[in-house]
Structure 1
Amino acid sequence: MSVTINAHQLGRLIARTTGHIDDDLTPALHGIRLDADAKYLYAVATDRFTIAAARYHHHRPDSEHTAPAVPFARTIPAASLPALREWINTVPGHDPVTVTPTDDRLRFTAPAGELAITSDPDADFIDWRGLLRGIIEQTPDSEPVFPALSTRLQARWASADAVVRVRATGDHRPLLVAGEDFLGAQMPTRARRDGFSTETDTLATLDDVRTAWHDALALSPATTPQAALPVPPRPRPRHDVTKDIGETAADLLKQVLRSTQYLVVADNVDETFAAHATAGVTAWAAYRYLDALHTADPHLAASVVAETAEQLDDGAISEWAWEAATEAGHDPQKWQDEDDKRRTQHAAQPTPA
């Protein structure tokens, strides 16, 4: 079975899981497992203390549309990952990459090139589906949950998603981590008083923490973050462009509603009417494109919003548009000449009495 995924998404699967690879003392886990079924291509890695599984809804090649789905699972050895990442970086992000297992190779085929890496079809890997299912189905302990977590391991979730949800069901049970098309877990650690070999845990319970900080915290009454933290002195100026994807989407929808409302109440069709019509249509199209991009790849959508905000703040968007049009093979000078001609003809028309 072959599956097809664009180069950007393949690189993202690798990036979201590579930090969880075990060292070479455990050969079976020293790499990333690519696991395909009829719907998704998964990338899975674990170092026995954390596990990360990212997925992408793949497309099967046209020639296989009527063939029954045959799942495959192959491990990409850690030693081959630098070459794979370098190859992916040479492929345009939107180009399709077909992943095909052969007898002893895993082949990555793009329109302009191919990479084959050694992959043992008989290599063992853990039953990651069963493991994650067991963690999801854990029932919470009746006692208060207060697990100790390694901050070194927590840093690995930065590549998982911009926002993740977590669930702790017991002090000695894995912590569940869930993101968009991402599932993982982290084992608790044994809390120690310091970085040495002592087994003393001075903060084993919430009461221990409360006691340790009592003298400092007792000086103030308990408040909520909303009450304790300062409120920004003023809202974001209207001319400032937000880099937040949620605010960007909201701003686009506001523009659509503002423009369409003007079209409803306008008394006559004039230049302002035409400007609102154009603004409303453009804002709605931009919102739909942003929503689709965010659904396909939240990280890429956030990156595009932030980069676009910087370009808008720069103020030279006409130069950016000119360069983009030229790079796309268009003739922006011809567009400008046509616009100038239309304006000249319009100005030459007699004004109605």
Structure 2
Amino acid sequence: MSVTINAHQLGRLIDKVRGHIGNEYIEVLHGIRLDVDTTHLHAVASDQYTVAAARYRLNADQQGQAPWARTIPADWLKPLREWTGAHAGADTVTITTAAGRVDFATTHTEFRVPVTDDQDFPNWRTLLRSITLHVPDKFIFPAVDSRLLARWADTSDIIRVHVTSDLKALMVFGEDFIGAQMPMRYAGIGPCEDETFEKALALWPTLDQDEENTSTPDAEMPAADDEMGTIPEMVEALLQQTLRSTTDSLGAPSTDPGAIASFALAGVNSWSAYRFLNALHQADPRLAAQTVADLAEELEAGDFSESAWDIAIKAGHDPVAWRDDYEAHLKKLAAEAAQAA
């Protein structure tokens, strides 16, 4: 039984969940569970107070295999992560199970981890599924440990949180990630177990004493910068432009080769940008997200043409010659179109 994943994605799976590993006194939780089903490779960890599961979609030729799972002991995670990080992000890692061990191999080297084949692990799928069945309370006011909240920092830049009641777990969702955090009462340390939202709010009577803003009861937080680009938005825009360019090129007048060429070029560039973005996202999701965000700011500023000119010169190119060649090309197309007419 084996699956493949690139080195960077394997490292990201480990990073996303390693903060949720249980301590050495609970052996079944003192490590990361690699769990393969018919479609995904999962990395799962839990410390009783939180549970986190990150996933990676298997290649089509590896889907449909018999499920398997092994727990990588916590003591082996640091050297495994160092071994993974020593490879290029795009290097393919083959993960294979054998009696008493899990093997990680690339074309360069191999790393073997001893494991207990029949070691138990909580049924994390059933646990998380059971949380989704709770109906949200009207007034939700759970008590949570702020130190546990920090464990979600490596999950994703943006996460969504679903809360159902004061005494049930919070659900956390990110990109290819799901998790849950138990309220403080579960740990037996909750100082706010009998406190309601109304009681807590009553401790802040001065909130009603803002004389300068009594006319704005629906005041909102300062608007966030929603112009920041995201990978899903960029992917959608590039695919739309690819399809739109194809449609426009088919509908362009046959007597205008310049228009047809422009539409075709726009489609080629959009598709090329999508493929590069998709490859970068697979190799380094964080770099891809930052690149898309930076690109959105550059496009918003509108000075990318000047930047391209400067970059071309620094790279040793001649943008003046490029411009002259392009203008000559346009004149040639115009002359051909006039002759054809």
* Range class of TM-score, shorter chain: 0.7 to 0.9
Task: Give the structure 2 partner of residue 301 of structure 1.
Answer: 288
Task: Give the structure 1 partner of residue 174 of structure 2.
Answer: 179
Task: Give the structure 2 partner of residue 52 of structure 1.
Answer: 52
- Confirm whether residue 127 of structure 1 aligns to residue 123 of structure 2: yes
Task: Give the structure 2 partner of residue 153 of structure 1.
Answer: 148
- CA separation in 1, counterparts of 2:3 and 2:190? 50
- CA separation in 2, counterparts of 1:164 and 1:13? 16
Count of equivalent residues: 322
2:83 aligned partner, one-letter code: W
- Percent of pairs identical after alignment? 40
1:36 aligned partner, one-letter code: V
- Confirm whether residue 38 of structure 1 aligns to residue 38 of structure 2: yes
Task: Give the structure 2 partner of residue 212 of structure 1.
Answer: 203
- CA separation in 2, counterparts of 1:11 and 1:210? 44
Whether contact under 8 Å (2:89, 2:284) holds in the other structure is: no
TM-score, length-normalised on structure 1?
Answer: 0.71
Please list the CA deviations of residues 236-263 of structure 1 after superposition, one character each: whole Å capped at 9, or x if unmatched. Answer: 8xxxxx6554665577579776998799
2:222 aligned partner, one-letter code: L
SS of match in other structure, 2:111: strand
Match of 1:144 among 139, 144, 166: 139
**Displacement after TM superposition at 1:316 (Å):** 6.0
Residues 129 and 273 from structure 1, CA distance in 2 versus in 1: closer, same or farther, beyond 3 angstroms?
Answer: closer
- CA separation in 2, counterparts of 1:128 and 1:198? 24
Please list the CA deviations of residues 155-210 of structure 1 after superposition, one character each: whole Å capped at 9, or x if unmatched. Answer: 2112222322222222111111122321110001149xxxxx99764992221232
Task: Give the structure 1 partner of residue 27 of structure 2.
Answer: 27
Residues 100 and 261 from structure 1, CA distance in 2 versus in 1: closer, same or farther, beyond 3 angstroms?
Answer: closer
Moved more, 204-213 or 29-38: 204-213
Root-mean-square deviation (Å): 4.7
**Displacement after TM superposition at 1:321 (Å):** 12
- Confirm whether residue 315 of structure 1 aligns to residue 307 of structure 2: yes
Task: Give the structure 1 partner of residue 68 of structure 2.
Answer: 72
Please list the CA deviations of residues 213-248 of structure 1 after superposition, one character each: whole Å capped at 9, or x if unmatched. Answer: 2223342342142xx63799xx98xxxxx6554665
Structure 2: give runs of 5+ residues left out of the alignment: none
Whether contact under 8 Å (2:142, 2:183) holds in the other structure is: yes
Please list the CA deviations of residues 283-314 of structure 1 after superposition, one character each: whole Å capped at 9, or x if unmatched. Answer: 35424654686699864531342466799979
- Confirm whether residue 222 of structure 1 aligns to residue 217 of structure 2: yes
Residues 69 and 253 from structure 1, CA distance in 2 versus in 1: closer, same or farther, beyond 3 angstroms?
Answer: closer
Structure 1: give runs of 5+ residues left out of the alignment: 192-196, 237-241, 324-331
- Confirm whether residue 87 of structure 1 aligns to residue 83 of structure 2: yes
- Confirm whether residue 100 of structure 1 aligns to residue 87 of structure 2: no
Residues 307 and 118 from structure 1, CA distance in 2 versus in 1: closer, same or farther, beyond 3 angstroms?
Answer: farther
Residues 274 and 118 from structure 1, CA distance in 2 versus in 1: closer, same or farther, beyond 3 angstroms?
Answer: same
Whether contact under 8 Å (1:260, 1:280) holds in the other structure is: no
- Confirm whether residue 166 of structure 1 aligns to residue 161 of structure 2: yes
**Displacement after TM superposition at 1:133 (Å):** 1.9
Task: Give the structure 2 partner of residue 118 of structure 1.
Answer: 114
TM-score, length-normalised on structure 2?
Answer: 0.73
SS of match in other structure, 2:129: helix
Residues 269 and 166 from structure 1, CA distance in 2 versus in 1: closer, same or farther, beyond 3 angstroms?
Answer: same
Larger RCO (alpha carbons 8 Å, 6+ apart)? 2
- CA separation in 1, counterparts of 2:76 and 2:69? 16
Residues 135 and 255 from structure 1, CA distance in 2 versus in 1: closer, same or farther, beyond 3 angstroms?
Answer: closer
**Displacement after TM superposition at 1:271 (Å):** 7.3
